[in-house]
Amino acid sequence: MNESDHTVQNDQSCQSDHDPQSLSVDAAWARISSEIQAVRGVEQVALRNALDRVLAHDIHSPVNVPFHDNSAMDGYALRGADIPATGTSGLRCVGTILAGQAMETTLQQGECVRIMTGAPIPAGADTVVMQENTRVDGDQVVITAGETPGQNVRAAGEDLRHDAVVLRRGQRVRPAELGVLGSLGLVEVPVYRRVRVAFFSTGDELRTAGSTLRAGEIYDSNRYSLYGMLQHLGVEATDMGVVSDDPDTMERAFADAASFADAIITSGGVSVGEADFVKQIMNRLGKVGFWKIAMRPGRPLAFGTIGEARFFGLPGNPVSVVATWYQFVQPALKRLMGEEPERPTGFPVRAGEELRKRPGRTEFQRGILQRDDHGELFVTSTGSQGSGILSSVSRANCFIVIPHDSGNVPAGELVEVQPFEGVMA
């Protein structure tokens, strides 16, 4: 990676990177998504170990959920036919059913049974009246007109029917899905094996945190960003460190990574500088799919294959790494993991200030999404949008997506935002 990849600090750093030969963002994603399929390996894992894994087969329910008709309330189970049309009616209470218990006898006309939430409905009963709507008079439970037959009963299979498809192949197991699988009584589930990703930075100027910098050297931030994003995604990530700007060294690193990884991610070395050898190495070892995208930040994004591994050559600028990761690499890796993702989607929000942009490329500006005094959402930029200003990502909570053909966006106009975090992210 050239030093210039990292030292740019202002908006002018990316003002001249428009190239009419670059692929559009949509075309680039279409190319990537068409060339990536899920890994083949499948394994059975214990239920709790399935969290954040991707299901390799459809899951069919082996039971009804709930398993039996049960009460949704604490109250009295009775026959709906015993509810009085007018006035009140006294029913004889013949027992109590707690959750986890069952009543062996059949409820008869004129009888009721005290029942707790979750307890099975006894044979003969079809209705539960909340205890707050009853009155006990000796051994009689007084029911008032106005109750509805069938109320407050959860039917067997109301949530999930026996043999129904509960979760689909390609679905990620999040906490909610883990609970659903638990409700089926499953001990193990089939998931795709973890995707193996090798990543490294390129550049003689880069030093790892803790080193003493000499003139012309900088600390490598990109590997830390990539490490965090890969860990959050749940893949097996191998950090191969910093690879120097030497063709032989770099070629050995690529060959080593391709020997075990499903995907290889590099940062730096994909622009047109004299030390940028990645493209030449790719042409020798594999296939280059494309090299440039009409986006800012992140124009010099390479995609291709080395052996069986998919290759993503990210720019050296730190913000470009983050932007290209979320728009292309993360959804591509999810597809390798067995999911069927789309690129990130957003929603329209009012611009709280003028947003400057040139036509001819899609821009992903760092934004701050917030509410005004009336509770209405609006978004502003974090300030300078230079692709070397990594702190702008830390200050932001969303991308502001300004389309390819758009110019400046006036204050008050609607613009798309992509929040960094979701409720169940």
Cβ atoms 242, 206 nearer than 8 A: yes
Specify which residues 236 forms β-bridges with.
196
Cβ atoms 365, 417 nearer than 8 A: no
HSE, side-chain direction, 13 A CA sphere, residue 159: 16
Which CA distances in Å does 92 have to 29, 83, 149, 163? Answer: 69, 13, 18, 40
Phi-psi region of 379 (alpha: psi -120 to 50; beta: other; left: phi over 0): beta
Nearest CA to 294 out of 1, 80, 27 is that of 27
d(CA 108, CA 105) in angstroms, rounded, equals 9
HSE, side-chain direction, 13 A CA sphere, residue 167: 27
Cβ atoms 25, 33 nearer than 8 A: no
- What is the CATH code for 4-40+193-336? 3.40.980.10
Q: Where in the chain is the domain with CATH 3.90.105.10?
A: 42-58+168-192
Determine the pLDDT at residue 4: 36
Determine the pLDDT at residue 15: 42
Q: How many residues does the chain have?
A: 425
Query: What CATH architecture applies to the domain 70-154?
Result: Beta Complex (2.170)
The CATH topology of domain 347-419 is Beta-clip (2.40.340)
The CATH superfamily assigned to 42-58+168-192 is: Molybdopterin biosynthesis moea protein, domain 2 (3.90.105.10)
* Biggest CA pair distance of the chain: 96
d(CA 365, CA 357) in angstroms, rounded, equals 10
Give the type of residue at 156: A
Q: Which tokens belong to 336?
A: 């390798």
Going 347 to 52 to 340 to 194, the CA torsion angle's sign is positive
What is the SS3 assignment for the chain? CCCHHHHCCCHHHHCCCCCCCCECHHHHHHHHHHCCCCCCCEEEEEHHHHCCCEECCCEECCCCECCCCEECCCEEEECHHHCCCCCEEEEEEEEEECCCCCCCCCCCCCEEEEECCCCECCCCCCEEEEHHHEEEECCEEEEECCCCCCCCEECCCCCECCCCEEECCCCECCHHHHHHHHHCCCCEEEEECCCEEEEEEECCCEECCCCCCCCCCEECCHHHHHHHHHHHHCCEEEEEEEECCCHHHHHHHHHHHHCCCCEEEEECCCCCCCCCCHHHHHHHHEEEEECCECEECCCCCEEEEECCEEEEEECCCHHHHHHHHHHHHHHHHHHHCCCCCCCCCCEEEEECCCECCCCCCEEEEEEEEEECCCCCEEEEECCCCCCCCCHHHHHCCEEEEECCCCCCECCCCEEEEEECCCCCC
Cβ atoms 172, 53 nearer than 8 A: yes
Mean pLDDT by 10 residues, the chain (425 residues): 36 47 90 93 97 97 95 97 96 95 94 97 97 92 96 96 96 96 96 97 84 85 94 96 88 95 90 62 85 89 92 92 95 95 88 95 95 94 84 92 96 96 59
Q: Where in the chain is the domain with CATH 3.40.980.10?
A: 4-40+193-336
d(CA 83, CA 92) in angstroms, rounded, equals 13
d(CA 235, CA 233) in angstroms, rounded, equals 6
Q: Where in the chain is the domain with CATH 2.170.190.11?
A: 70-154
Specify which residues 194 forms β-bridges with.
none
d(CA 415, CA 352) in angstroms, rounded, equals 10
Q: Where in the chain is the domain with CATH 2.40.340.10?
A: 347-419
